[in-house]
Structure 1
Amino acid sequence: MKILSVANFSNYNDSNTALHRHWALMRLGAIVDKVDTSISYNFRNKLVKKLFNLGWVQFYYSGTDIFNENIILKAKDIYPDIIWIDKGIGIKKETLIRLKKDHPKIIIIGYSPDEMTKRHNQSREFLESLPYYDAYITTKSYAVENLKRLGAKQVYFVNNAYEEKFHYPRELNNNDRENLKADVGFIGMWEKNRAESIIYLAKKGLKVRVWGGGRWLLYQNKIENLIIEDKALFSEEYSKALSAIKINLCFLRKMNNDLQTTRTMEIPACGGFMLAERTQEHEQLFVDEKEAVFFSTNQELYEKCMFYLSNENIRTSIAQAGYQKCLSAGYSNYNTLKSVIERILNDR
């Protein structure tokens, strides 16, 4: 089977989840080639995105012609069975039409870890091209029907996944432990709800460390017990931190209505103890207080932080059980992509 892998491979170094899925496609035994679809967010493209979010949908991103043409040329070179397009916000419908014309038997599969029915994740190109995918894969169970209403032919829900070549328990040296340690830690972008929860913990006396930069810097050196690092963590540091932090907070993105997130899998896959927001999907993926721990309110979050910081043996046991669940349940990219591609091929 030949697969042409199309994604933005340029951001976040080895932490790039699109790159992780590309690695998984390679391990499936496919002959894989790739096209990078990174968009330069220059002034014009920032303006296009802002106008689109405000409802002005008539503008296209600039600078996308090159990679759209590269997709067509690569397809002519390798004659792929499948074209895998990871969050193709710059992919034009004309490109997909041309691919089908040149290769009538080709299967075009789209994937995104984001909620693609939300405007802030979309583009004019995405909305116009969506009906030309043979299948679209989402990690948002509640988005399936809405994606169909936007024109998707077939939509498949999958859980988030971890990358076994990147997310695994790392060996930590003394420098790692010193530089990445935290009683309670969070790695990720600022959002109002998660900031309120973290500040609540700090004001209750818990030491919380946050990596993320951006709007988190508004709190730097202003709240006792709260340490704000002026950077995000990427590459090996990210996985090591998940192992070094005693309690890893897993917040869900409210603007996407998340019920699970990539960290849902990444934290336990790295051998980290996960304290996550309680949702039905989280409780289906991990057994509460055995493989992970869940909370619903800030008070419950505080009480569970206090309990598990004081009970290292229980905390370690839960972290190890969460790691084993990732392995036994097949939560890796390889298993997830293998399963969904088989479903798509069987449905044709």
Structure 2
Amino acid sequence: MKILMVGVLRPGSNGLSLADGFRDAGAKVTEVDLSDLSYPRRGTRSWAELKWLRRHGSRAAMEFSLRLRRQSLDRFDLLVAVKCVNFPQEPLLEFNADKRVHVSFDDLGNPENVSDAYLRHEPYWDAIVTTKSYNVPEIRSRGGVPIFINNAYDPRLHFSDLPLSARRFDIGFIGARRRDRADLVRVMHTHFAEKAIIYGPGWRSERSSLVEVRPATGAAGFVKAAESFKASLVLLNSDNRDLQTARTFEAAAAGNLVLAKDTPEHREIYSVNEAVFFNTPSDLADLTARMDQDPTWAQRVATAGHDRVVGGNNAYFHRAMQIISEI
């Protein structure tokens, strides 16, 4: 099978992991990376056009079309567009491929994650792949053909067999500061003094003498960061109405004890003996004491969660196989 992957395919991205998943499934994959166009430098004209008009300007659109045309002499069995909502849709939908699907790892019900052009053309894609179950009826109501897949982990990026006893901090979080996470440092300071660490952008102003704060790790540094703490806090993006996220799977694959926001989908993915569920981070106040008193319990839950994810068909290879099967 010949597949053309178009979109955000930079190192560490969901898109590149999915491309590798298709390769693992035996497909010949050609990549057209649009990351530089999708994330222009802040303050530039391209950045302003994308931020305020929710579409790419003429220069970016021309460069996009040029990169796509370079592949037009080949015929592909499948074109997979990843997060291409702000690019012109016609060149993608008219491309020389038997099937064309759009993949979004964000909530397509959030206006920040769609464009007028995308919504007008959504019904013309052969399928819309989404990791948001609540997007399925919404896509269908707009005339689209939805395919729901769970999030996944990338075995090339998310792995570890380091026991919890060898990890320094009791609890950690990897992710950006957001409005709905603004209280996280205070909660960790109060309940996990000197036993907590946060990695990610935007936290610098939230520094606490009792909570370690470090910069974003990047894909290459994920394992090293995850191995610095025992329990991984899996926070969701309320702007995306998240019920699960990629970190749901990545944390367990990295050997962490998963602290999962209590949602129906997290309950479907993990049993009560494979993760710890919570509603707010302050609900975890007794966690440190329990981990100290019964480290075998913590390791047992972490191991069960790891086995659930790694042994349960949750790699990008399995998501790629599902897409191929359903398309």
Same fold (TM over 0.5): yes
Of 200, 205, 229 in structure 2, the residue corresponding to residue 212 of structure 1 is 200
| 1:115-154 equivalences in 2 (<5 Å) | 115-152=107-144, 154=145
TM-score normalized by the length of structure 1:
0.84
State how 1:68-217 maps to structure 2 within 5 Å. Answer: 68-77=65-74, 79-99=75-95, 102-103=96-97, 106-152=98-144, 154-169=145-160, 181-207=168-194, 208-214=196-202, 216-217=203-204
Question: Using the alignment, how far apart are the partners of 2:179 and 2:306 within structure 1?
Answer: 30
Q: Does 1:276 align with 2:264?
A: no
Q: Distance in 1 between matches of 2:324 and 2:72?
A: 19
Aligned to 1:66: 63
Number of aligned residue pairs: 319
In structure 1, the residue matched to 2:298 is 315
Q: Contact 1:25/1:337 (CA < 8 Å) preserved in 2?
A: yes
Structure showing the higher helix proportion among its residues: 1
Q: Is the 8 Å Cα contact of residues 3 and 76 (structure 2) preserved in structure 1? A: yes
Is the CA contact (8 Å cut-off) linking 2:260 and 2:276 kept in structure 1? yes
8 A contact 2:46–2:60 mirrored in 1: no
Q: Which runs of 5+ in 1 are unaligned?
A: none
Name the CA distance, whole Å, in 2 between partners of 1:141 and 1:234. Answer: 28
Cα distance in 1, alignment partners of residues 280 and 106 from structure 2? 25
Are residues 1:338 and 2:325 paired? no
- Percent identity, aligned pairs only, is 27
Take 2:72 and 2:137, find their aligned partners in 1: how far apart are those partners? 31
1:60 and 1:125 in contact (8 A); partners too: no
SS for the counterpart of 2:49 is helix
Match of 1:225 in 2: 210
With the length of structure 2 as denominator, give the TM-score of the two structures: 0.89
Change (3 A) 1:125 1:60: farther
Task: Give the secondary structure class of the aligned counterpart of 2:92.
Answer: helix
**Residues 1:93 and 1:73: Cα distance change in structure 2 (over 3 Å):** same
Q: Residue 297 of structure 1 corresponds to which residue in structure 2?
A: 280
**In the alignment, what sits opposite 1:19?**
16
Question: In structure 2, what is the Cα distance between the partners aligned to 1:98 and 1:285?
Answer: 38
SS state at 1:141 partner: coil
Deviations 1:178-230 (A, max 9, x none): xx84221111011233231441231235332111132x11112xx3412221x
Q: Is the 8 A contact 1:139 1:158 kept in 2?
A: yes
Tell me if structure 1 keeps the 8 A contact 2:86–2:114: no
Q: What is the rounded CA distance, in whole Å, between the counterparts of 2:233 and 2:18 in structure 1? A: 24
Q: Is 1:51 matched with 2:42?
A: no
For 1:211, give the aligned amino acid: Y
Q: Is the 8 A contact 1:4 1:75 kept in 2?
A: no
Whole-Å separation in 2 of the counterparts to 1:166 and 1:186 = 17
Match of 1:41 in 2: 40
Q: Aligned partner of 1:237: which letter?
A: G
Deviation at 1:110, TM superposition (A): 1.1
Question: Where does the alignment leave 5 or more consecutive residues of structure 2 unmatched?
Answer: none
**1:306 and 2:285 aligned:** no
TM-superposed deviation, 1:340: 2.8
Q: CA deviation at 1:170?
A: 5.6
Q: Give the C-alpha shift of residue 285 in structure 1.
A: 0.1
Q: CA RMSD in A?
A: 2.2
Work out the CA distance in 1 between the residues paired with 2:26 and 2:191. Answer: 52
SS at match of 1:339: helix
Tell whether the 8 Å contact from 1:91 to 1:129 is kept in structure 2 after alignment: no
Native 8 Å contact 1:248 1:267 kept in 2: yes
Offset, 1:263: 0.2
Aligned to 1:9: 9
> Do the aligned partners of 1:170 and 1:239 also contact (CA within 8 Å) in 2?
no
Mapped contact 2:191–2:282 kept (Cα < 8 A) = no
